[in-house]
Structure 1
Amino acid sequence: MSNIKLDFEPQTFQNVRDFKSDNMKCLVFAYVSLVFLIKLVVCDGGTNQIDKIIDLTWAVDVNPISWPNNKKFMYTRQVEKQNEDGSWYATNEYCSGEHGGTHLDAPYHFYQQGWKVDDIPIERFFVQGVLVDISQEVNDTGRSTQLTIDHLDKWIKEHGSLPNNTVMLIRYGWSQYYSDYDAYMGEGATPNFPGMTPEAARWLVDSKRIIGVGVDTASLDQGNSTTFDVHKILCSHQIYGLENLNIPEDLPAKGFSLVILPMKLKHGTGAAARVIAVPKSMANW
């Protein structure tokens, strides 16, 4: 058997080493990129996107939360009967103010040139949702707690910029008191519960991204407000309110859309509303 001489130039081995080195660099870069992406998704709440429909609405019954000078919901006539042929028949009639239970505040509520309920463009009821949760602070400091610009700036720092066409939900942790009128509204003649500062309301207006604000209390303003500055600021920019929402503890800061379905009241200053959080995968708006 003849001897075979393998005559590799030194440069050939160098090319092989460079090839391995370059591929290793690519693998390391891909690994680091993947780790960064996973961390980004986790930190940004991506993995916390909701995967089911969540109803944020309290059922309307004979004991709903209602603003003190608003007529409470009540049935004025109820019929339930078995007909002679064995069939069943039932019907109800009721009376209610506009601002009780889970409901929408139309801009006209505090702004003469504002939209009434039936004027609000329907596109503004299919929106992006974000949540600012200060419930822990409320637990620590109580009913006097206010949402401030600092809370909003902190949210932006942690979660990024607000999307367009957004309704911001604010969770004070007040849903836990809904079944107890005195605990929810406060004992005494003057309501007493957490709210937003006027400066925070102006921040929302200036963002140009917010078209609605929802809270798990009975008012956008702090309970003891007599001037309702937050209402006035938001309504004067055609930003509607959602009050008495049932916001669960596990709703994430972002990663959901909202469907808002108020009763289409002609000339309405407000209306009972069904408010639903839906997964991003189900929303194409």
Structure 2
Amino acid sequence: MIMVNHCFLRTLMSHVVGTLAFAAFLTGAVSASATERVVRNNILFFDLNNAEAEVAQFESELPSENRQLFLVPSLSRFDPERRKKILALHRNTDELIAKASSCAPLTPANRASCHAVWDELRDLEVRRELLTMKFDGKLALDDTRMIGDSVVDIVVISGHHQRKFFRGELAELHVDDLFAIAKAVPNAFNHARTVILLGCDTGTPQMLTEVFGKLFPAAELIVGSELPAPTRDEPRNLSFIRELLRNESQLLAAAAPDDITPIYQRLLAERWPVTLLWKREYFFSDDWRYWENSAHGLRVIPRISTTEVPRKKKRA
């Protein structure tokens, strides 16, 4: 005969139920905690050069959860079909420019063919302006407003750069246009933790102190180039972007400059002339002119002022 102690069973069941409830609570807590740990990645990407492959790297490397990608020019303005037409037009232009190179000097033998090439180049330029709507700073500001109340975490500017002027297949911008955007849409730039500049000579000390340090007052990591940068579709350009995005969180979490050095060396190994401004003070460069105390690739520059340089008034 088996004796059943009901008090014991009730106590046991109470413990089991309590344990299960506690386990469920823990599971929920861990799940909530995991959700909270997902880093927000709101990206504002100034795609001036029709860099579809670069944009794809950001979409593939950063988790889709808790991420928004804002393109300037926007997809509503330049849809994929229009972008393809612009790309084809530029390829035709490059081919014609190569043909035009044989027109120097102009001779009676090549005069007719050269004039035909020049006429076609002018026609392509007219078509380019129609397709790109002469996209400039004003239109860039309009498209940046699409972020609404969203806070941007990562800003990317991709395009050819020379002397504070950006240009690409889709658009052209001067740094003054970027300052105008910063003033009109503060949440576009003011809270960005990381800035990635995919253009020539964008990561020099002059550009960092005069332009990008002021445009992005909270950025703890600004990445640029100290020399001519690879073109948008080059494998080394895309592999560099991949390596950078995979190490962004480590770069931001690093406690000391020595923690940055091995990551910086890996980025250099991608054959991309990269510079890093870390914590707004430590400048990493492969240029020997910037070495300090024999520390390869490290230079401490004066802490960047976040006050915008007064803009000179244009003469009437």
TM-score (norm. length: structure 2): 0.30
Bigger relative contact order (CA 8 A; separation at least 6):
1
Looking at secondary structure, tell me which structure has more strand per residue: 1
Q: Which has the higher helix share?
A: 2
